[in-house]
Structure 1
Amino acid sequence: MTRITGTVVDIADRTADGILTVSAPALRHSSDGKVIDRIRVDIDISAGVIAANTLDPGPAKLVLETGGGWQEFDVNIPDVPEIDLYELVSDYVRYTPPVVGAAQKALADALAAAKRAEAAAASANLLPDGGTTVRSSPSPVPAWHGSIHPPAAEAPATDHLPSPPPHTDRQR
């Protein structure tokens, strides 16, 4: 049998009064071979302290009801002599401190950037020289595509240029 312990307070560290309701989520066997029904068990919380209790280990539904409202948890009560209420429900409570939240956002951003990079790489064709051309905008490949440098420009032909004016030795 397991005892749930702990102190329940509000955010200003004031003790809370309320009830911790525990029940089996479905008919099941107990640790000593008996049948556990879904009957709810109310455990008082007075001045923040959870009253004495002994519960069979296994799947359970907890409802914590205080002046701040109520919250429900589906848990698995471990086979230990005692367990703190927060330790029992902590896997089911989402708390994201600012630093952890920033790290999680950075991870999500990095994963999204990696997916975009993979998608861009998948949509590119590598040319023989290691360069790329994007599939979505096909353009003719120049004849010199096997080289990383275009061919040197040829010297212009001079046979079509006009002749220079004749040279004269006249003086004025």
Structure 2
Amino acid sequence: MSSSYHSDKCKGITLLNRIVHSDRGNDDYDVIHREASDANMNIKALRKNIWYRAGFKPCRKGWVFNDKSFGCYYISNTTLTWTDANKFCRKMSSCLTNILSHEDINWIGHLTNNDTWVGGNQNDYVYQWECQQYKYQKQINPYSKLWASKEPKPGNKTQYVKILKLQTWFGLDDHDCNLSKRFVYKSVPLIK
């Protein structure tokens, strides 16, 4: 390949890195600018074309599709501890879901209408969304407005994240994993 090809690639990567670093002060999460992400560009292209195929269903039977996050969600009817729910999700080739916006938390909260385990945990005073299935980790800002009032409460004992139903809205809450709760897991859509 030519050196100009590599030079153009490096310029693009440098620009992308600048966008990522300049946005860090404005974000609750360490994420790439939506407009700058190849993955998001591909999602936009898929969204445009996905509904044109007659009879196409992007999720497995019993799962709910959210076109805003472009994900398939399964809301459990059973209750498990966080650890057991996480194992169950991995057997289904998915992960306990992450929450990246108020839109996410309210959408899931209204579907479940109850306290629900999601994929966050705290270890060594650091909160993170974690998915072993996709080798994914993303730190959760402990000062994010997604947390319920007076949350989180980090400690030296591992805590797990759940959606907490409040009077008029939903917020994130950290708790011991020994409680049995419903849980929500997320998977990528099926592409046919």
Larger radius of gyration: 1
Give the structure-2-normalised TM-score.
0.20
Please state which structure has a larger fraction of its residues in helix. 2
Structure scoring higher RCO (CA < 8 A, sep ≥ 6) equals: 2
